[in-house]
Amino acid sequence: MSFLTSLSGLKAAQTDLSVVSNNIANGNSTGFKKSRASFGDLFAASPTQATKKIAGQGVQLQGITQQFTQGTLQSTDRTLDLAVAGEGFFTVKSPDATASITYTRNGAFSVNNDREVVDSTGNIVQLLPVDANGVITSTDPADMTNLVLPSNDPSDPAAVLANINVDTNGTIVATYSNGNQQALGSLAMASFVAVEGLRPVGDAHWQATGQSGLAQLVQAGSGPMGSVRSGSLETANIDITEELVSLIAAQRNFQANAQAIETANNMTQTIVNLQV
């Protein structure tokens, strides 16, 4: 049984190494959230067995949990570089026929050839409708629209788009060359009852699951929802020094379990070589 006990320790240490290595590898990934592996001990005994005679049988992986703590906000010179200061996610939609919805903390947005504001993977940023004062009029997902930058003032086609402003509530305001302004909508900010239940799909994007619950769409800066910071990006929530220490600890744990297997093997070999 000592072989199996140490083998479980090797597997646990290998998983821990993989998780920590992934955290370190994404140290420069915008909006990335680190993960942590949790482990528990293994015991097997009959109800009548004395507790003082129960030996442990190793370790098992309990789960890999995402840590959605705030990352550092780094200033940039781009209006469409957006960050969330606090809770919440930007809502984006894939441009293909599936029109799948995902949620991201990576606010490095840009404009494509169709004047749609998209993220680094081409997903289109989603807006909620607002009134003339920039207040959201609906939080129904069915009312979300793509964020598309207009070329001209609808009331004066001769006036071209001069500037885009994003306030802390996520309201997108277009300013035209004639001085007119138009509220295009407010960023569809999503929150979840159990954010740890979100399924990561890569590129700092997540999908809602039964564990996370459905997305609750609200305006940025309202209730627990964080505010939007234009001209900033959120860095990965990783302390490289802390991760390197964890990496060393996981490596030592792996080596210790490998040594335990070698010791058990030597003991077994000694028994086999005994002469009667």
20-34 burial, b for 16+ CB within 10 Å, e for fewer? beebeebeeebbbbb
Residue type at 126 in one-letter notation:
Q
Q: Computed from CA positions of residues 168, 174, 177, 179, in that sequence, does the dihedral angle turn out positive or negative? A: negative
pLDDT at 44: 65
Helix (H) or strand (E) holding 76: none
pTM for the full predicted model = 0.87
Torsions phi, psi for 73 (to 5 deg)? -90, 125
Digitized pLDDT (tens) for each residue of the chain, 276 residues in all? 567 788 888 899 999 999 999 999 999 999 999 999 999 887 765 566 555 556 667 888 999 999 999 999 999 989 999 999 999 999 999 999 899 999 999 999 999 999 999 999 999 999 999 998 888 999 999 999 999 999 999 999 999 999 999 999 999 999 999 999 999 999 999 999 999 999 999 999 999 999 999 999 999 998 889 999 999 999 999 999 999 999 999 999 888 888 888 777 777 777 777 755
Angle at 233 between CA 232 and CA 234, to 5 degrees: 130
CA distance 127 to 140: 11
Residue listed under structure tokens 């293994």:
42
**Overall residue count recorded for the chain in this entry:** 276
CA distance 155 to 159: 9
> What is the residue-wise DSSP string for 189-225?
EEE-SSGGGPEEEETTEEE--TTT---EEE-TTSTTB
